[in-house]
Amino acid sequence: MAAAAAPHGAGSRGRAGAVGAGRERGAAMARSVPLLWVLLPGLAALEPLSVGLAIGVASALTGYLSHPRFYCSYVECCPRAGQRLNATALKAQLDNRLFGQHLAKDVVLKAVMGFSNNPSPKKPLILSLHGWAGTGKNFLSQILAEQVHPAGLRSKFVHLFLATLHFPHQDQVKLYKEQLQNWIRGNVSACPSSVFIFDEMDKMHPGIIDAIKPFLDYYEEVDGVSYRKAIFIFLSNAGGDLINKAALDFWLSGKRREDIQLKDLERLLSVGVFNNKNSGLWHSSIIDRYLIDYFVPFLPLEQKHVKMCVRAEMTARGYAVDENIVQAVAEEMTYFPKEQKIYSDKGCKTVQAKLDIHEDLVMRDTKARG
């Protein structure tokens, strides 16, 4: 029976991962001793006092090379205990890179900073992000991962699971559950503040995610490992229809989009996802036990938000922002409902591809302005 592919992040790590960083520092210490003999080739001919001095220098050098500040400037290290996130930096990233999602920004910022500032949380932070494709769920999870571990998705402490890649076969659910438990146990042992992102939850076979329920619950430790500093993020399209309907109802009643509050959607969303047979959280004990801290709704994006995405993409490519191009790309997107055409049915997902079509015009305009 084939095993599931290893998730994005580091190579496979079991319990031995807990001492991996220590071994690396030990190796650095061992390498510092031969270095001393290179620096002091006549060491063997020195008098006892000189030899004692040299050994003292070697000890100091070894201690310096193995000090976390020095070592961690060259090798990625797990954040030290008590290290807090920068609220100002996180807010700036959300404001500058995530468009049209006032609810998601507010909820995630408060949830993450409250969790980070708590010296002894009772359980891991668990967020479940819901909405149609292209509304920013993946983007937000990447921003959050980068704030916890600067290397983001490239960090060996950030682990991305794709349901269709890592858990494709229904007849291997039992194997996947065992592998998932081992993977999470080993990586949290290595770094308590590990981040786990589960994408395509709406395509995950029901029951798989319940394998990690013991790690998400209110336990001091499970088999000697504490999971209380870890972050788990679930991404799903499930519930997107419910969110879109609620947003449209607000629009039809003349209310502002920004007036939508979490209480208007969260209960509706949690019940809808729990009863959705096409969701990996269908009848999940994780919901039943109220272990998910927040169900975060991502609202459908309007044309003004699509334009923001186009401008951001042009800037990221180093192009001058041309409003004619911005308008052209926005108009090439398709919108719903059919009559009012308010919301982009793909969010900002195809903005990059649409902008590629206008590449020649954009480059020509940028050169002309330069």
Helices (H), 167-265: 173-190, 213-216, 240-252
| Rounded CA separation 248/242 (Å) | 10
φ, ψ dihedrals at 231, nearest 5° = -125, 130
Residues recorded for the chain: 370
Task: Give the 3-state secondary structure of residue 130.
Answer: strand
Q: Which of 2-6, 45-49, 310-314, 329-333 is least confident?
A: 2-6
- Distance of CA 171 to CAs 1, 176, 206, 208, Å? 10, 10, 12, 12
- Distance of CA 343 to CAs 7, 94, 202, Å? 34, 21, 22
- Beta strands per DSSP E along 216-306: 231-236, 294-297
Whether 190 contacts 13, CB under 8 Å? yes
Give the contacts of 142 (CB within 8 A, at least 6 positions apart).
152, 153
- Summary mean pLDDT of the chain: 86
Structure tokens at 332: 């090439």
Long-range contacts of residues 113-117, Cβ cutoff 8 Å, at least 24 apart: 113/85, 113/87, 115/231, 116/84, 116/85, 117/84
- Beta strands per DSSP E along 131-283: 158-162, 195-199, 231-236
pLDDT of 135 strictly over 90: yes
Question: For 282-306, how does the pLDDT look when each residue is reduced to its tens digit (9 = 90+)?
Answer: 889 999 999 999 999 999 999 999 9
| Rounded CA separation 363/329 (Å) | 15
| pLDDT, mean of residues 72-97 | 91
Whether 318 contacts 363, CB under 8 Å? no
φ, ψ dihedrals at 225, nearest 5° = -120, 130
Q: Which of 52-56, 235-239, 243-247 is least confident?
A: 52-56
191 Rama sector, left if φ>0, alpha if ψ -120 to 50, beta otherwise: beta
Question: For 143-197, how does the pLDDT look when each residue is reduced to its tens digit (9 = 90+)?
Answer: 999 999 999 999 999 999 999 999 999 999 999 999 999 999 999 999 999 999 9
